[in-house]
Chain A
Amino acid sequence: MGRLSRFYPLLIVALLVFYFVLAFWVLHPTASVAYSQYYLSGSQAVTPP
């Protein structure tokens, strides 16, 4: 545990950077809006199966 704990700060920073990138790049509205508009507008609901 003692040796591993030296890497905790590095791992914390790496995870924070990863989540930051995910939030501002992947979850950025332009990434999801087109798809969600299609589904949430209900257009699929009126299309006959």
Chain B
Amino acid sequence: MMFEGEGSRRHERLYALWLSVGLFAVHQLLELLVAFAYHRHVLDVCYWDCKWYAGISLHGYAQTATAANHQANWAFFPLFPLLVLLINTATSLSIPLASVLLGKVLFLFSIYAFIEFATRYSENVPPLCAGMIVALSPYALYGNTGYTEPLFLLLTCAFFVFLKDRRYLACGLLGALLSATRVPGIFVALPYAVVVAQHFLPASREQKLEMVLGGLLIPLGLALFMLHLHAVTGDALAFIHVQKAWGRPLSNPLAVIVGGFERGNIHLIWALMSVLALVASLFLIFTRRLTLGLFSLFCTLVPLWTGLQSMPRYIWWQAPILLVLANVISRRATMIIFMPIFVLGLAYMYIAWMAVKSWVV
């Protein structure tokens, strides 16, 4: 659907907003049905990483690791728990409840942001298809569980939209927030560098300064987090070193994938997802969408260093990968086949989540 002029642009945005609200509501209804069937409360779903983030909001970062299993909350980045703390202070909601509610609000905004991102980067993707990919994919459940994924997707989509408009300072500020959200956030520096390299020489002095400042702002969130970890633990790289406490020593990504194929079952599915995500990244690079492809390549490869278990969360909340998927299923016939499978997958994931299965963490 193409409109001309500012009025029609506003109309498009309004349509995307209502579409986001509708798809968000469908997702909430699905969760409600599963919760009802399994006698659970939809707001009492703060498990696994949500509890780690809630712990950060409550007590801050730990000075030492636990004696029993050597785990500590240093692996979890600070932006989401900081926002939860703000809500807790402003509303006096409990921390777990504030985490889940904030996650839901960010989830709604991330659906809208992805529709905006998808329409900017691919004319072939209808807004309905883009919204459905985010709202109803099997791993969309993390939008409702007090995780950091919706915040990451929202910021990534906003970053790429601003990058398309070459608003460097806005990109730098969003990059700073992204690098304080989760490890792959820092990789928006790569597409930023590509765009700056293409436009630096013909730019005016003021624009050049803006480009440099925007680029320098991107690592700021991570740098402040490292400084805080240094102050609390004495180790600025504690967020990397503590991975071993989860049985995730840094390994060769290729060996991790091969290991997944050899172990079979759910590991095989995670390995297949990782391979497909890498193929999608290369596809983006070779179809002249270097900015999106580079970001996805690093966002997939680096988490692979620490194993396969968290890969679905890194893949299914990555804007460029979701864009490729939206392109694949944008045809009506494909969508009719895929979407019921996705919705059933989402229901199954909710059932697993409410049964507190460890593989869905």
Contacts and interface: CB of A to CB of B under 8 A. Distances in A.
Contact of A40 (B68, B217, B244): B244
B216 A22 contact: no
A48 to B, nearest CB: 9
Given A18-B223, A26-B227, A35 B235 contact: yes
Contacts of B247: 45
Nearest to A47: B70
B91 interface: no
B219 A19 contact: yes
A32 B209 CA distance: 34
12 contacts: A9-B209, A11-B213, A18-B223, A19-B223, A26-B227, A26-B230, A27-B226, A32-B235, A36-B235, A42-B249, A44-B70, A45-B244
A35 B209 contact: no
Contacts of A26: 226-227, 230, 236
A11 to B, nearest CB: 6
Contacts of A49: 68-69
B206 A31 contact: no
B208 to A, nearest CB: 9
Interface in B198-231: 206, 209-210, 212-213, 216-217, 219-220, 223, 226-227, 230
Given A12-B209, A36-B241, A39-B244, A31 B235 contact: yes
Nearest to B238: A35
A15 B220 contact: yes
Contact of A12 (B213, B220, B227): B213
Among A19, A35, A49, chain B packs the most CB atoms within 10 A around the CB of A35
Interface of A: 5, 8-9, 11-12, 15-16, 18-19, 22, 26-27, 31-32, 34-36, 39-40, 42, 44-45, 47, 49
B227 A22 contact: yes
B169 to A, nearest CB: 8
Contact of A8 (B210, B236, B237): B210
B233 A22 contact: no
Interface residues of B, number: 28
Contacts of A15: 213, 216-217, 220
Contacts of B234: 31, 34-35
A40 B241 contact: yes
A18 B226 CA distance: 12
A27 B222 CA distance: 13
Given A34-B234, A42-B249, 16 more contacts: A8-B210, A8-B213, A12-B212, A12-B216, A15-B220, A26-B230, A27-B237, A31-B236, A35-B237, A35-B238, A36-B237, A39-B245, A40-B241, A44-B70, A44-B244, A49-B69
B195 interface: no
B317 to A, nearest CB: 28
Contact of A5 (B70, B210, B220, B236): B210
B167 to A, nearest CB: 10
Interface in B39-79: 68-70
A35 B241 contact: yes
Contacts of A11: 213
B242 interface: yes
Contact of B236 (A12, A16, A27): A27
A12 to B, nearest CB: 5
